[in-house]
Amino acid sequence: MQQSSPPELVFAHADPTKTDPMLVPMTQPVSMMPGAPMTSGNNMPAPAAYRQPQEEKTNLSPVYVLLGLVGLLAIICVVLAGMNNGVLTGMSGKDDHAHDLELKMNTVDANLSEMKGSMGSLAATSDVAKLDTKMDEFKKAVEEALKDSTREVEVFATRKPPTGNTNPCAGTKPTGADWKNKDCTEAEINEQAAADVSSPFTGTKETGNRDPITQAYWKAGICPVNVHWHLGAEHKSNGQFDENGKHPEHTHDWEGKPRQGLRCHKYDSKDAKFTTAYNWKHCKHMQVGETYEVHWPHSAGGACGTVHQYQTPFYDGVFCNGGDLALTNTGYNIGVQAQVFTVVNDEDYYYPDLIKGMIIDGDKGDDMVFYTGSTTGDSRTNQVCSKYSPITWQVDRMCHLISASTFDKMCADMKAQLDDMSDDLHPHGAREVVAPQYTADNMRTGSLSGGRASFP
- pLDDT value, residue 108: 54
pLDDT in tens, 28-46: 444 444 444 444 444 444 4
Q: What is the dihedral of CA 222, 228, 234, 240, to 10 degrees?
A: 90
Query: Of the ranges 172-176, 257-261, 382-386, which one carries the lowest mean pLDDT score?
Result: 172-176
Rounded to 5 degrees, φ, ψ at 187 are -65, -35
pLDDT in tens, 218-277: 999 999 999 999 999 999 999 999 999 999 999 999 999 999 999 999 999 999 999 999
Query: Of the ranges 95-99, 321-325, 423-427, which one carries the lowest mean pLDDT score?
Result: 95-99
| Distance, CA of 191 to CA of 207 (rounded, Å) | 7
Q: State how far Cα 429 lies from the chain centre.
A: 31
Of 295, 338, 341, the closest CA to residue 314 belongs to 295
- pLDDT value, residue 100: 58
**First-to-last CA distance in the chain?**
145
- pLDDT value, residue 171: 93
Residue 26 pLDDT > 50:
no
Query: In which band, very low, low, confident or very high, does the pLDDT at 158 lie, cut at 50, 70 and 90?
Result: confident
- pLDDT value, residue 322: 83
Residue 327 pLDDT > 60:
no
Query: In which band, very low, low, confident or very high, does the pLDDT at 138 lie, cut at 50, 70 and 90?
Result: confident
Residue type, 167: N
> pLDDT averaged over the chain?
80
322 vs 126, residue with greater confidence: 322
- pLDDT value, residue 152: 52
Greatest mean pLDDT among 109-113, 186-190, 316-320 lies in 316-320
DSSP 8-state code for residue 127: H
CA distances from 32 to 8, 28, 36 (A): 15, 7, 7
By the 10 Å C-beta count (0-12 exposed, 13-18 middle, 19+ buried), 285 is classed as: middle
In 381-449, which ranges are E strands?
Answer: 384-385, 391-403, 444-446
CA distances from 293 to 21, 137, 339, 367, 436 (A): 109, 63, 6, 16, 21
- pLDDT value, residue 42: 46
- What is the sign, positive or negative, of the torsion defined by CA atoms of 430, 436, 438, 444? positive
Kind and range of the H or E run holding 241 = strand 241-242
Rounded to 5 degrees, φ, ψ at 446 are 175, -165
Q: How many CB atoms lie within 10 A of CB 260?
A: 18
Q: State how far Cα 455 lies from the chain centre.
A: 41
CB 300 within 8 A of CB 225: no
| Distance, CA of 203 to CA of 395 (rounded, Å) | 15
By the 10 Å C-beta count (0-12 exposed, 13-18 middle, 19+ buried), 253 is classed as: exposed
Report domain extents, the chain. 61-156, 177-446
Q: What average pLDDT does this structure show over 181-193?
A: 94
Q: Is 228 helix (H, G, I), strand (E, B) or coil?
A: strand
- pLDDT value, residue 92: 41
| Distance, CA of 225 to CA of 357 (rounded, Å) | 10
pLDDT in tens, 31-84: 444 444 444 444 444 444 444 445 545 454 555 656 666 666 667 666 555 555
pLDDT in tens, 194-217: 999 999 999 999 998 889 999 999
- pLDDT value, residue 178: 86
| Distance, CA of 389 to CA of 174 (rounded, Å) | 13
The percent of residues in the chain predicted with pLDDT above 90, rounded, is 56
The percent of residues in the chain predicted with pLDDT above 70, rounded, is 66
- pLDDT value, residue 294: 98
